[in-house]
Amino acid sequence: MKALVRTGRQPAPSVPVQVYTAQRMRLPRLGTYLSDLWTRRHFAQHLIRTQLRTQQSGTVFGQLWLVINPLMLALIYFVLTNILRERSGGAPFLAHLTVCVFAFHLVSTSVTSSARSVTRSGKLILNTAFPRSLLPIAAVLTAFVRFLPTMLVYAVIHLYAGLPIGWHLLWALPVLAELVVFSLGIGLAVSALQVYFRDLSNFLPYAVRLWLYSSPVLYYVDEVPHGIKPLLAWNPLVPMLASWSRVLPEGHVPHLHLMLQGAAWALGALVVGGLFFVSREREFAVRL
Amino acid sequence: MSSLSVSDAATPRAQADPATPLAVKVEHLSVTYRTSIEKAPTFRNTISRMGRGQRVVREVQAVNDVSFEVPTGTVLGIIGANGAGKSTLMRTIAGILPPSQGRVEVHGQVSTLLSLGVGFNGQLTGRENVVLGGLARGLSREQVQDKYEQIAEFSELGEMMDMPMRTYSSGHGARLGFSIAVHMEPDILLIDEALSTGDARFKRKSAQKMRELVAQARTLFLVSHALGTVKELCEEALWLHQGRLVMRGPTDEVVAAYAEFQEVGETATTLEDF
């Protein structure tokens, strides 16, 4: 069957032209992809806003719940560790525990809520062409916005415990950036995997719990027995949470090597998770 | 079988004015995708399946070496039996599915109203779905605000706009979907089997709106099994069968041939042997 060829027909110059071709490589051009992502940023913003509204944060108790939930978790762990450990850690340990529980909560809600972000948006994906990574990005940023009020709670504990205040606290910002970028990388990977393995989100809570116990949240990183230390090197959250605790409750400038390790894990996760997601996202429409 | 030859199919309008700009150009397009035929893709099933050595990924060749051009302002009907590749073709033109071979060139902004309806999240209100859908299509916030009023008015949903979409009937959903699609001011509008659920009055209203869009020299693709609608709205039609382009030409001829084919039950292979 011959193609219909009409000579002399020129496309109008003013309209935007889209060309879709078969791509041997599964990756779209990254420059185009990123600029597409940027032009749709309002979609992500609005999605974050509606998610915040629907996740019970529209009411007074909903707002409070954002703070109460992680705070209760921290208090439970504080009681638990005080029973298990021979001595009471006192206020400084409470500060370490709460601030690390809050940071871990940020990572775990980012991961668990991005897991379903793609599969939940079936109809939108089937009917609209847009960069799919906006969905996990919005999920992670929503978790980040929900994390912010917990820092006010920590500030109260910090003051109550009489912990040092100074310029070193600003180091918390790059550590926080590492945590968010790392969560985004994992969130991208997990949300794409969820398309292929729908029971992934059922396993996640167990994985997250195991991850919590193997991270320096319920203990200080220095307390880990020497025999287990090499194992901890494989937990990406160890350098980040160690720096986090060193800066906020312990009041020191973080170790450079831990900052660099954290940055490497965060960027590595973003690159690997991002490339995996982007290489797969064109297939989502037939897999949902 | 000259009446089936695609090269005969230039419309009278196109012949009269060869300078009409091109809207869509499809060249040797094939779309093959791999999809899972499992009930639910899970780790559990994957592991138990590996034990049995089964494969559940199936290749579907939905569109097979299709080429055509559509000038701006055409209303093109796309007809064909179930599984002919109509929806896949629409999704490829919209940029949702990637081509496996060939090339698709689209001049202008595309708006889609595809068979699965609108709606993003049943928990969200109609209003939020409209805003999110518009933003996902790449509109700015101001554009969405402007259009929201028109969409709400045209859909005649009134207070239902502020209710969660899960409370909508399928007709309400279809009305909202059509309103969104036509008010995005697309250069090219793709409509896939979406007019069937509205009530008679809304159907008339949407047919009227489509004629308006065409009068503004918009291009419109209409996938429908309702041959009457296709005949009424489209000047040209395209007939797909099992992923292949069988015929393209004036609607009356294509629809007549298609209707005859369905009654007689000829296979596509007999039609391919031109």
The per-residue pLDDT for range A179-224, each reduced to its tens digit, is 999 999 999 999 999 998 888 888 999 999 999 999 999 888 888 8
Give residue B198's pLDDT. 66
Give residue A7's pLDDT. 39
- Judged by average pLDDT, the poorest of A125-134, B71-80, B225-234 is B225-234
Minimal C-alpha gap between A199 and chain B (Å)? 5
CA dihedral angle for residue A158, residue A161, residue A167, residue A168, rounded to 10 degrees: -90
CB burial readout A161-177, b (16+ within 10 A) else e:
bebeeeebeebbeebbe
- Judged by average pLDDT, the poorest of A240-254, B91-105, B116-130 is B116-130
Tokens of A256: 């450079």
Contact A16 B108 (CB under 8 A): yes
> From the candidates B24, B96, B241, which should be mutated to test the interface with A, based on the most A CB atoms within 10 A?
B96
Q: Give every CB contact of residue B179 below 8 A, 6+ residues apart in sequence.
A: B150, B151, B152, B154, B155
Which amino acid is located at B270 in the chain?
A: T
Contact A129 B272 (CB under 8 A): no
CB-nearest partner of B101 from A5, A22, A287: A22
Give residue A257's pLDDT. 94
B246 bridge partner residues: none
Minimal C-alpha gap between B170 and chain A (Å)? 14
Q: Give every CB contact of residue B233 below 8 A, 6+ residues apart in sequence.
A: B75, B77, B207, B210, B211, B220, B222
**How large a percentage of chain B has pLDDT more than 70?**
82
B34 bridge partner residues: B59
Minimal C-alpha gap between B21 and chain A (Å)? 5
CB burial readout B137-155, b (16+ within 10 A) else e:
bbbeeeebeebbeebbebb
Minimal C-alpha gap between B95 and chain A (Å)? 6
Tokens of A13: 């110059």
Q: Looking at the predicted structure, is the pLDDT value of residue A6 above 60?
A: no
Residue A154 near residue A249 (C-beta atoms within 8 A): no
> From the candidates A5, A7, A17, A18, which should be mutated to test the interface with B, based on the most B CB atoms within 10 A?
A18
**Environment class of residue B32 by beta-carbon count within 10 Å: exposed (0-12), middle (13-18) or buried (19+)?**
middle
Angstrom CA distances, A174 to A177, A232, A252, A258, stand at 5, 22, 14, 12
Angstrom CA distances, A6 to A13, B93, B103, stand at 18, 20, 17
Spatial distance between the Cα atoms of B135 and B158, rounded to a whole number of angstroms: 22
Question: Nearest Cα to B225, choosing from B267, B185, B257, B194?
Answer: B194
Spatial distance between the Cα atoms of A26 and A275, rounded to a whole number of angstroms: 10
Contact A3 B67 (CB under 8 A): yes
Tokens of A37: 């992502």
Per the rule left: phi > 0, alpha: psi between -120 and 50, beta: everything else, B138 is: left
- Judged by average pLDDT, the poorest of A63-77, A86-100, B198-212 is B198-212
- Residue A125: its chain B contacts at CB < 8 A? 96
Q: For residue A221, how many other CB atoms are within 10 A of its CB?
A: 18
Q: Looking at the predicted structure, is the pLDDT value of residue B100 above 70?
A: yes
Q: Give every CB contact of residue A186 below 8 A, 6+ residues apart in sequence.
A: A107, A110, A111, A269, A273
Tokens of B41: 């893709």
Spatial distance between the Cα atoms of A249 and A216, rounded to a whole number of angstroms: 14
Strand B22-36 vs strand B219-223: parallel, antiparallel, or unpaired? unpaired
Spatial distance between the Cα atoms of B228 and A282, rounded to a whole number of angstroms: 35
Q: Looking at the predicted structure, is the pLDDT value of residue A269 above 90?
A: yes
CB-nearest partner of B43 from A2, A23, A199: A199
Contact B136 A130 (CB under 8 A): yes
Write the pLDDT tens digit of every residue in B110-142.
887 765 555 567 778 888 888 888 888 888 888
pLDDT bucket at A88, cuts 50 / 70 / 90? low
A·B CB contacts under 8 A: 179
* Whether the predicted model's global pTM rises above the 0.90 cut: no
Helix axes B200-215 and B170-183, enclosed angle (nearest 10): 10
Strand B219-223 vs strand B188-192: parallel, antiparallel, or unpaired? parallel
Give residue B194's pLDDT. 60
- Residue B243: its chain A contacts at CB < 8 A? none
Spatial distance between the Cα atoms of A287 and A211, rounded to a whole number of angstroms: 30
Tokens of B250: 């004036």
Contact B96 A198 (CB under 8 A): no
Q: Is B263 helix (H, G, I), strand (E, B) or coil?
A: helix
A49 bridge partner residues: none
Give residue A159's pLDDT. 92
Average pLDDT over residues B41-60: 74
Question: Nearest Cα to B62, choosing from B242, B233, B273?
Answer: B242
CB-nearest partner of B42 from A127, A197, A283: A197
